[in-house]
A and B are shown apart, each in its own frame.
Chain A
């Protein structure tokens, strides 16, 4: 079992560029999540998917879109990256009660 995997691990973008962060889980979990973590701000929920075919906004959805491609995969897209989106992005899946996190993607937008 790989658990939750994320690609890429690191990425540098220029302002205005787009990219998709990929996430996959092999634990057959229904719920999946995208968070960002910034110094002093803690983990903030961007979007989540309670089950395949559904997505909902979290606390900080602006500037992001998501796709729940199937039960395993949940991607996060930045259409036009901004420096304010420099952060560490964590994907997670959940089997109540525990939430399992991927190793994170460190994104820098210059």
Chain B
């Protein structure tokens, strides 16, 4: 099983829709979890950290399920500007490095 697995998509959704991505991970010792966003031909940028109790930032909600070893990202009221690739990220065994999933592509259409 790969360390971080994501459905590559693409997810094509209309503006205003709600969309959810899941990510599974294999290392049960992982402590830190994140969602990064990467626009086409740009560098990844932190979207949000994922906390055990779940957390929300505006239209974005992140959840962590340690028992099943997955994290999720929910985007409500999708905007055209949400079109990007969303990377699931968690810390590696070394603690210094991060493991990145291959990303899920989202396209929001008018």
Contact = CB atoms under 8 A, between A and B. Distances in A.
A53 interface: no
Interface in B68-110: 87, 94, 96-98, 100-103
Given A43-B87, A45-B97, A99 B102 contact: no
**Interface extent on A, as a size class?**
20 to 34
A97 B97 contact: no
Interface string A71-110: 0000000000000000000100010111101111000000
Contacts of B101: 42
Interface of A: 31, 33, 35, 40-43, 45, 48, 50, 56, 58, 90, 94, 96-99, 101-104
B contacts with A: majority SS: loop
B44 A33 contact: no
B42 interface: yes
The range of chain B's interface size is 10 to 19
B25 interface: no
Given A48-B97, A50-B96, A104-B43, A97 B103 contact: no
A97 B35 CA distance: 12
22 contacts: A31-B96, A33-B97, A35-B100, A40-B102, A41-B102, A42-B100, A42-B101, A43-B100, A48-B96, A48-B97, A50-B96, A58-B97, A90-B44, A96-B32, A97-B32, A98-B34, A99-B98, A101-B44, A102-B43, A103-B42, A104-B42, A104-B43
